[in-house]
Amino acid sequence: MKIVIYWENENSTKLYDLTQEVLEWIWLNDFVVLEKNVTEEYKNNLSIKSDYAFCIEEESIDFKDIIFEWQIPSKEEINSLLISLIGWESSWWCPSDWCSSCWGGC
């Protein structure tokens, strides 16, 4: 999966940095690609209407979509979003099956 931050202003820098921080916090920075894009072509292809947007792409199924634009969510909201988008399964990465070593208990 790829996350693309489309941007044209300072708010998009905050969004990119926050997304990077969350990816590192939930240990997905090695599995999810985070990119910036500023091209008019990308903006038009996804019908982005604001100066910045959080978009996802899944190349294996030729999928691209805007998840949100016009706002910068909190760290917790981005965390929840990424976990739900990834289809989080404990067996995927946590050998302890969501034990206390991962998230504070089952």
As a CATH number, domain 2-103 is 3.40.30.10
pLDDT given at position 54: 87
pLDDT given at position 51: 82
Q: State the helix-helix crossing angle for 10-25 and 75-86, rounded to 10 degrees.
A: 60
CA distance 96 to 57: 30
pLDDT given at position 87: 63
- Please answer whether residues 54 and 19 qualify as being in contact, where contact means their C-beta atoms are separated by less than 8 angstroms: yes
CA distance 55 to 34: 10
pLDDT given at position 99: 46
- pTM beyond 0.75: the answer is no
Q: Return the structure tokens found at 18.
A: 């926050």
What amino acid is encoded at 102 in this protein? Answer: C
Q: What is the mean pLDDT of each run of 10 residues along the chain (106 residues)?
A: 82 84 85 87 89 84 81 85 66 46 46
For 99, residues 6+ apart whose C-beta sits below 8 A from its C-beta are 105, 106
Element of type H or E holding 21: helix 10-25
